Amino acid sequence: MSLLITPDALAELLATDAPVRVLDVRWRLDRPDGRPEYLAGHIPGAVYVDLDRELASRGEPTDGRHPLPSTAQLGEAARRWGIDDGDTVVIYDDLDSFAAARAWWLLTDAGVADVRILDGALRGWVSSGRPLEEGVVVPVPGSVTLARGILPRLSIEDAARLPERGVLLDVRAEERYRGDNEPIDPRAGHVPGAVNAPTTGNVDAEGRFLAPVALRERFTQLGVTDDRPVGVYCGSGITASHTALALTLAGFAPQLYPGSWSQWSNHPDRPVALGSQPGGRS
């Protein structure tokens, strides 16, 4: 089953009687509330998803900025979005699928069988000449039942040990990985041994995911192999989900570190590496 869907294929699917739920997950660091943009224009029938409130839980700084929601919290939200067991769920945002991938990871982790990302995000839909609608969509509540965490993930201890036996990818921008600056979290740098692989390298100029063969070549050049584990983290676990999807498309089996740098940097006992080489200087 494909993890991506094109605007043409989505339009065709929506024109049938197939059970489809479309989710709009507009969120970015500088504008976390995407509801105003959603209200101004969204794919017809799409339900707005609040990433901060529905795709993350509240916790202590030592848990990271976006801890994973509980199964109960996610299930309540998913039913509010109108999802039933057996539905096809299509997710999009307006930022090259970086935020949408968080919802993809969570729903896939919770056992929803058919979860797809709209390849090319909202601009792909608009570029295809298809309409948007204004206002809010309030669906009939769904009845989906969710499983409890079926995808592999890393604790902070797992992330610390992974570079010794596999590859840990840091998908933040290069300057944050090097520790040149850190605008959000308390310490600058990266997990010792982590390799920089900015999330932006997963997509082309139109925001579409690179072909699986190109993604596989990219990750292979970064040291990822089939016989060693690969983990991925970012600032707070959001864009790391995007690279987890890209790794999956490339045929690998990624492990997400949900706490990511926001958790690691809030633990003073954890070493910090600086510079452009894995490990750097403490």
Active site residues: 234
Nearest to 197 by CA among 253, 243, 229, 262: 243
- Packing angle of the helix pair 100-109, 239-249 (nearest 10 deg): 70
Beta bridge partners of 24: 48, 92
